[in-house]
Amino acid sequence: MAQARPIRPTTGRAGRVNRPTVALILLVVLLTSVIAYGATRSRGGTPHTPGQGAQPGVPSATQPGDATPAVPGTDTGITPAQLDALAAARTHALAAGDEAAFTAALDPATPGLVDEQRRLFRNLRPIPFDEAAYRVDSSRPVPGAAGTLIVDVSFDHRITNADVATVGEGYRWTVTRPAPGAPLRISSITGTPYEGAGYRYARDYPAPWDRATLTVVRRPHTVVLADPQVADRAESLADAAEQAAVTDLTGYAGPRGTSPGFVLVPVADRAAFYELYGGRADQHGDESGLTYALRTSPTGTTATQSAPGSTPQFGGARIVVDVTSGYFTSGDPERAAVLLRHETAHALITPLRSELAGQNQPVWLVEGFADWLALRPHHGHLEGDLAEARTYVRSGRFPGTLPTDADLYQADPVGNAASYELAHLVLLRIEQTRGSAAVYRLVSAVYADPSPASVDRAIKDATGRGRADFERDWAQYVNSMFGR
């Protein structure tokens, strides 16, 4: 999740298609990326106050070349108002369907730039947006390049019936004034870089619309953004995703404030699967699905509120699936359905998540809930849903404690898969003994506050037992299930 960066999910399973894995809790790298991104506003640059001279979606009356003061401390002659006008003009052109205006400020001397942005414009137009606006975040001069600025821009957007608040994607523009009084030119557009180890970008770039020509398919609760390699399957994938969405939305009985619908990005290219939303090639393992939480933009003009006086930290999610995986090639449509329901479950409750510095929701709860909701049509589970857990327990490897993050990230394919299944059995045990309402209480409490003390309190509230007592009861349940 770039602004909301994915966790490092479980490692791949040799000789077996990986179970649905996801990115819905943030490791310390996420906090680092947020801090690093914020630091770009003061590291060698001139802060820019968004909104000077322009309102989102409305061209500013201040045009490039006017006589307003220059950015302090630079010799570019480019003012904050002019940068806002440049972003606002692009916003207006997108809303008006004016491709010529959308590309008017691009430098034609930059190879491929105009064609790239024409494709972007055509990709964005059929997507149902409640909001789509470019907003300048910060700017700084390029040393030794007179009349040139590096400008970080947020594409603030909210997809209809999917996002509960405005989210942002970070772009970095190189903006020049070729000559005194000349119109501004954008000579380069890339993603806002993350200055540090980990993910390629901190601001959810590239999105699907940045990479290739999209096929956009809409259903009542689903928007599919399909790469060219899967364009011929976009309709059938949309049908399958819509069915998964309806199943999860109908089955969900927890707190309000969840996502009303979902955005699915199917790809048939492993590099693209990992690159999207700021990833990097082969960073996780052999996942078949990844769900990215997107951070709420701080100045979105139509951001909704999850509670009076508050805005959710995560405004939505994007589900990326690899259709070359066994979930989609096995010939068993239920396998794909389970994967889609699992990832949809993650996306559904993304807006309920909160972040605390250095503390993350335990993976057993995040993944256990996704499987618990996804497998409810199986009336809890089927024999095949617990195959690895059975092997794991009967081989004496089960320690009788809740799966740790390390258990869910381990390289061993049996241990990895078993940990997912055991996490599911944690929530299934709570449902069997205390009812489904207790499961939702536990999940919502931990999503709201993932601190260790809060997790222990949530377990006590949901189960009526302290953590150690609950673990003992659950371990007996697991061992008896598998004949130990």
Give CATH 3.10.450.50 domain extents, the chain.
50-191
Residue 69 pLDDT > 60: no
Q: Examine the pLDDT at 309 and tell me if it is beyond 80.
A: no
Please report the pLDDT score of residue 280 as a whole number: 65
Please report the pLDDT score of residue 15 as a whole number: 28
Confidence of residue 13 (pLDDT cuts 50, 70, 90): very low
Q: Work out the pLDDT band at 118, boundaries 50, 70, 90.
A: very high
Q: How far is CA 221 from CA 39, 162, 263, 315, in A?
A: 38, 7, 9, 16
pLDDT the model gives residue 329: 94
User: Of 121-130, 197-206, 373-382, 413-422, which one has max mean pLDDT?
Assistant: 121-130
For the chain, give the mean pLDDT. Answer: 82
Helix (H) or strand (E) holding 225: strand 222-226
CB crowding 122-154: b at 16 or more within 10 Å, else e: ebbbebebbbbbbbbbbbbbeeeeebbbbbbbb
What letter represents residue 258's amino acid?
Answer: T
**Confidence category of residue 352, pLDDT binned at 50, 70, 90:** very high
The pLDDT of residue 14 is above 80: no
Tokens in use for 319? 């589900």
**Residue closest to 277 by CA, chosen among 337, 358, 210, 219:** 210
> How many residues appear in the chain?
484
Residues 242, 243, 248, 251, CA torsion sign: positive
Average pLDDT, stretch 183-203? 75
Q: Give the pLDDT of residue 96.
A: 98
User: Is residue 46 pLDDT above 60, yes or no?
Assistant: no
CATH for the 28-34+207-481 domain, from 1.10.390.10, 3.30.1200.10, 3.40.50.150, 3.40.605.10: 1.10.390.10
Query: DSSP readout, 15-26?
Result: TSPPPP--B-S-
Task: Note the helical H segments in 350-412.
Answer: 363-374, 387-394, 405-409
- pLDDT single digits (tens) 208-235: 999 999 999 999 999 999 999 999 999 9
The angle subtended at Cα 132 by Cα 131 and Cα 133, nearest 5°, is 115
Q: What phi and psi, each to the nearest 5 degrees, are found at residue 194?
A: -100, 120
| The pLDDT of residue 445 | 96
Where do we find the tokens 């030119």? Answer: 185
- Tell me what pLDDT residue 52 has: 27
- DSSP reduced 3-state for 168: strand
Q: Bridge partners of 171? A: 153, 191
- Between the CA of residue 279 and those of 199, 204, 306, what are the distances in Å? 5, 8, 28
Query: Is the confidence at residue 405, as pLDDT, over 80?
Result: yes
128 or 22, greater pLDDT: 128
Kindly give the interhelix angle for 452-463 and 467-481, rounded to the nearest 10 degrees. Answer: 60
DSSP bridge pairs for 188: 174
Question: Which string of DSSP letters, residue by residue, matches 230-249?
Answer: GGGGHHHHHHHHHHHHHHHH
Q: Where in the chain is the domain with CATH 1.10.390.10?
A: 28-34+207-481
Q: DSSP string of 116-144?
A: HHHHHHHHHTTS-EEEEEEEEEEEEEPTT
User: Chain centroid to CA 419: how far?
Assistant: 24
Q: Is 44 left (phi over 0), alpha (psi -120 to 50) or beta?
A: left
Nearest to 369 by CA among 390, 344, 393: 344
Look at 307 and 336; give whichever has higher pLDDT: 336
Token pair of 414, please? 């049996």
pLDDT tens digits for range 264-306: 999 999 989 988 998 765 555 678 999 999 989 876 544 444 4
Residue 382 carries which DSSP code? -
Mean pLDDT in residue range 184-191? 96
Q: Which of 129-143, 408-422, 461-475 has the lowest mean pLDDT?
A: 408-422
Whether 12 has a pLDDT exceeding 80, the answer reads no
Reported as a pLDDT band with limits 50, 70 and 90, residue 180 is: confident
What's the DSSP call for residue 385?
G
Instruction: Using pLDDT thresholds of 50, 70 and 90, give the confidence band for residue 380.
Output: confident
pLDDT of residue 22 exceeding 70, the answer is: no
Architecture (CATH level 2) of domain 50-191: Roll (3.10)
Mean pLDDT of all residues in 165-191: 94
Predicted confidence at residue 166, as pLDDT, reads 95
pLDDT band at 146 (very low <50, low <70, confident <90, very high): confident
**What tokens were used for 226?**
């399909």
Predicted local distance difference test score (pLDDT) of residue 198: 46
Residues with Cβ < 8 Å from 158, sequence gap 6 or more?
Answer: 129, 130, 131, 165, 166, 167, 300, 302, 303, 315, 316
